[in-house]
Amino acid sequence: MFDVSFSELMLIGVIALIVIGPERLPKVARTVGHLLGRAQRYVNEVKSDIQKEMDLKEIGDIKNQMEDAARSVQSSMTSSVEDLKAAVTQPTQAIKDSLDEARQALDIKQPVTEEAPVKTDAPSLPAQDPAAGIPAPADGNPAPAAPLGTTVPTTSVPSGTPQPVRAPAPTESSH
């Protein structure tokens, strides 16, 4: 703080001893010590307050820089999202336009939707096998199949003549 050497302090002490006297010198020295301590604490408090203010100013500057950086990142992200949306929207719009043109060319008023198959409890009727010349049964039940390796004789029956139905011969199967 002050540039005072030891010899200068000795000179001040000797003058104080002569002026104040030996009986009051310890009391004055103690009072001067307390005053110097208070002054030193006051100076330290002012220094810390100044340092805090400087730190707050630096923190405020850093805060402003971070806010600016956040705003720039947000604006760049927003523009990137808009670019991506445009990149996706443009091809999809082109596809929609081409589909609309195709619909108009085919005179289709509304788009065709795929319907789910309808389940019924009735069994499906087998189709007529044109190669065998066998019509599908009228009752909807499939005809019993002959076991593999057997031949079924076919005869022509005049219509309206009832014929007995023969069951196919059982075959041996190994279980």
pLDDT in tens, 52-92: 999 999 999 999 999 999 999 999 999 999 999 888 888 88
Task: Spell out the domain ranges in the chain.
Answer: 6-105
Percentage above 70 pLDDT, the chain: 59
> What is the reported pLDDT for 20?
87
From the list 164, 159, 137, 124, the residue with the least C-alpha distance to 145 is 137
Is residue 128 within 8 A of residue 135, CB to CB? The reply is yes
| Predicted model pTM | 0.35
Give, for 90, the enclosing helix (H) or strand (E): helix 25-105
> What is the reported pLDDT for 48?
94
Q: Look at the block and give the residue holding tokens 């302090």.
A: 9
Distance of alpha carbon 162 from alpha carbon 101, whole angstroms: 63
- The rounded mean pLDDT for the chain is 77
Which of these ranges, 10-14, 122-126, 155-159, 161-165, has the smallest mean pLDDT?
122-126
From the list 149, 118, 116, 143, the residue with the least C-alpha distance to 128 is 143
Q: Name, in order, each residue with C-beta under 8 angstroms of 150's C-beta and a sequence gap of 6 or more.
A: 168, 169, 171
Give, for 70, the enclosing helix (H) or strand (E): helix 25-105
Distance of alpha carbon 130 from alpha carbon 160, whole angstroms: 23
Q: Please report, for residues 21, 36, 44, the alpha-carbon distance to residue 11 in angstroms, rounded to integers and kept in the order given.
A: 15, 19, 28
pLDDT tens digits, residue range 6-39? Answer: 898 889 888 988 888 889 988 988 998 999 999 9
More confident residue, 133 or 21: 21
